[in-house]
Amino acid sequence: MTSLLYKYVSVPSNTLSNASSTSAAASAAASPIQLLAPETLQHPGLLQTAADFEWIRASLAAGKQPWMQAWQQILDCEYASPAYEPRPAPTIYRGSDGLYEDVVAVYVLALCYQISQNTTYGDAAAGYERVVVDARGVGAATCLDSSEYIARYNLFYHVPYTYDHWPIALPTIGDGSRGDIRRNWELLYNHYGVLNGQNVTWTKRFRDMEVNTTGGVKAGSG
């Protein structure tokens, strides 16, 4: 599947050696040292851009390999079927059965639509996305509630905890990784607190602790 997303570039064998000698000569000639302006980063915010899909469609129309083979592999994938049945659940947790498969199905169907322009794939992807998001209860209120709970827990305050239907034995709340700094608190605070004006008491406190502790530059984990 990934072979569809990359172009092959042929580099002459002497390119690296020529580039090396040229770079050395240029460095020796440059006096004083000149700093080059950094290139502007233009992140599309997506895995593929419109130009990528245009290039993919052109490659398939020309019957080029290995893209034809990769496209067939996508079509043969079980997640590429508009008849795929998502398996929503009222409660989600880490390792939830079917969650990852449903997300993959939405992505693969959207990919098929963009490449083939067949609206059957697009309609299925949009329909499955609504089912997965709505039925799995990951709306904004739930996300904010989770943020407040997790922030309070990681600030070492008491939080309510009930052991119920977890696939492994966790009768009491654990302290593993408690207080670890992760990289999502600035996003949560600004989205819910600044942009939406909602109550983010604990989210803000953990965000402030993170900034005061690390200077706001630590990426964190997870």
Q: Round to whole Å and give the CA distance between 116 and 118.
A: 5
Decide: pTM greater than 0.75: no
Q: Round to whole Å and give the CA distance between 149 and 206.
A: 11
Least confident of 69-73, 186-190, 193-197: 186-190
Overall average pLDDT of the 85-109 stretch: 75
Confidence of residue 2 (pLDDT cuts 50, 70, 90): very low
Q: Which is higher by pLDDT, 108 or 164?
A: 108
Q: Which is higher by pLDDT, 204 or 214?
A: 204
pLDDT value for 166: 59
Overall average pLDDT of the 81-96 stretch: 74
Q: Which is higher by pLDDT, 98 or 178?
A: 178
Q: Round to whole Å and give the CA distance between 98 and 89.
A: 9
Domain boundaries, the chain: 46-137, 140-214
Least confident of 6-10, 37-41, 151-155, 162-166: 6-10
pLDDT value for 204: 94
pLDDT value for 164: 67
- The per-residue pLDDT of the chain, averaged, comes to 73
DSSP secondary structure code for residue 172 in this structure = S
pLDDT in tens, 131-160: 665 644 445 557 888 889 999 999 999 888
Q: Round to whole Å and give the CA distance between 135 and 102.
A: 12
Alpha helices, H only, the chain? 15-29, 50-61, 67-76, 99-116, 119-135, 140-154, 185-188, 201-214
pLDDT value for 44: 45
Residue 117, pLDDT above cutoff 90: yes
Q: Distance between alpha carbon 17 and the CA centroid of its chain, in Å?
A: 38
pLDDT value for 200: 93
pLDDT value for 76: 92
